[in-house]
Amino acid sequence: MLHLPRSDRYPGYLGNVTTCAPRGELQMQDEAPQIHFDKAVHAAERISQLVRMRVRQTVHTHFFACIVVLASVVSLSSWTLLSNEEIGTSVKVQLRLCTGALKQLGDLWPIAQTALLQVQGVAQEISSSRKAASQVEE
């Protein structure tokens, strides 16, 4: 997840997700931002695999909630960058898994509930802008 800030695929309004995912200034320039984004996407997919494991969410610590938030940020970034044809279901499935996990974790850890509201707010914003853009194209 350390790779996402080094990529050029971090839309500005994702800064609205501040819980567990602070957006700092990038100190070094990298010549291969796509590689960093690909690694972040791979990490988010692995986190989704952890969420799918048959373990009660209540045995996780609040750090696991932060990991899920970071996976959500990467999935939201992917959603903003892909066209409707490219999205498929994987990004949406990952977002649903992450929001479901945050909802369950929110019963135990207040930070997860706060992060859930932030992730849902950004997701609604992205969905609205995509719908508006598709109506303009028609």
Has this prediction a pTM greater than 0.85? no
pLDDT, tens only, 45-104: 999 899 888 887 678 888 999 999 989 988 888 888 776 666 657 788 889 999 999 999
Residue 107 burial (CB < 10 Å; 0-12/13-18/19+)?
exposed
Residue 11 belongs to domain spanning: 4-137
DSSP 8-state code for residue 61: -
Question: Taking a C-beta distance cutoff of 8 angstroms, is the pair 119, 19 a contact?
Answer: no
* Rounded CA separation 84/81 (Å): 10
Domain count along the chain:
1
pLDDT, tens only, 16-56: 566 666 555 554 555 676 777 788 888 889 998 998 888 87
Which residues lie below 8 Å from residue 80, measured CB to CB, with a gap of 6+? 11, 14, 126
